[in-house]
Every structure is written in C-alpha cells, then in structure tokens.
Amino acid sequence: MAIDLQPWLDGIDASMVFHPANAFVISCGTVTLDLGRGKVLLIWNRNLSIFQLPKGRRNIDEPMLNAALRETYEETGVRATPLELNIATRATLPTVDEEADGPPQKSPQITEGHLSTEFVGTCLYPDPQSDTKALKAVFFFVATADSAATRDNGTQETYEKLEASWVLISEVDQKLRFASEVAVVKKAVADVRKSGYTINNA
C-alpha cells in the first residue's frame, strides 16, 4: 500500500519561509575564553550601556569563522584563536572513498565525536538596526586568547563606542544584557569541557 506523502509535503510547504538576501543579515561573533583565568571577552557598548558578545556583519564572500575573528579583533583589539571542539552539529563529515567496508552509510542527523571549529550556536531575531524588515542570524564560534596580553588600539570603526572587558565566566549571568548570549556562553563552556579542556576558576 502506497503511503500518501502529500500531507507531509504540504506541512513542509506551509512552514517554509523565503527571505531574499537583502532581508537576511548574517552576523558572526565569538565566545573568546581565557581558559587559564576562567574569563570571557565581552564588549561594553557605551551607546546602549550594556555588555554584549563581540560580533558583526559578514563581508561579501567572507567565511563565517573569518568574519567572527575579524569582528572580534575590530571591536576589541584582541587577536583570538579558534578552538577545536567536539561540537554536536548538523554539519556532515566530508565524504570518504568506500573500499571493502560495504556500501556507503547514511550520514547521521547529528554528528558528534569529531573536533572542529564549527559554530557553537546561533541567535535569531528581527534586525533592530535595519530600516527595512530583516531577519538577523548571529553565528557564534569558540576561540581563546590571553586576557593579560596588550590589546591593539585603533581597530574599531569610527562610529563604534565599544570597550573590551574580560569578565569572569561565573559572572556572565549578571553582565550580559541578553539571555540568548548567556546561553551561548554556557553552551561554549560546556563544549569546551566536553572536549577535554580545563577552565580554571569557572
């Protein structure tokens, strides 16, 4: 007996939403950690008087990880290094040639157990800075840096009024204004620990 796929396909059709490129903002940022001191890099936004994670819009044709590191550097003067983690992700492993092990296996829906620099999570919301209706997606990557190192000056855009601040990881609940960014930091810390790294004082 044939299965009627039309209700399932109709459900997909009803839930699918098209966003043209000019109505969808891709932003990238980092959760940059100093593992030895148990700190996370935040920015103090003087225009809004709030703490946030460093992030910003991706340039045309720029890989998202590159954009995250560039924006972190521009907003804070900190050169962060991406951290390879065991992140549960919907990304698939590269295809390898199958030899005598039998037919190709279907990729799992969630890939785990492989070190990568995949994004740790994303925040979705209407872009509050857009003059026209636009959906914003911020992709966050995990990185490391030395909180005691001297930061570079003059890296921000002229209109930005941001101050880099290293905060104890245990204090992010009280510091970060947005709950979703708190969730991003907690997810990053959990993945760091799951991957075998030690975070002091956290």
Q: What is the pTM of this model?
A: 0.91
Find, among 191, 200, 140, 139, the residue nearest to 170 by Cα.
200
The confidence score (pLDDT) of residue 161 equals 84
Query: How far apart, in Å, are the Cα atoms of 124 and each of 42, 117, 139, 180, 200?
Result: 20, 20, 9, 9, 31
In tens, the pLDDT along 115-167 reads: 999 999 999 999 998 999 999 999 999 999 999 999 988 888 877 889 999 99
Domain ranges of the chain: 22-89+109-195
- Give the side-chain half-sphere CA count within 13 A for 156: 15
- Considering the domain delimited by 22-89+109-195, tell me its CATH architecture: Alpha-Beta Complex (3.90)
Both tokens of 178, joined, read: 């947005």
In tens, the pLDDT along 32-84 reads: 999 999 999 999 999 999 999 999 999 999 999 999 999 999 999 999 999 99
Q: Are 135 and 18 in contact (CB under 8 A)?
A: no
Does the structure show a pLDDT above 80 at 180?
Answer: yes
The DSSP secondary-structure symbol of 194 reads H
The confidence score (pLDDT) of residue 120 equals 97
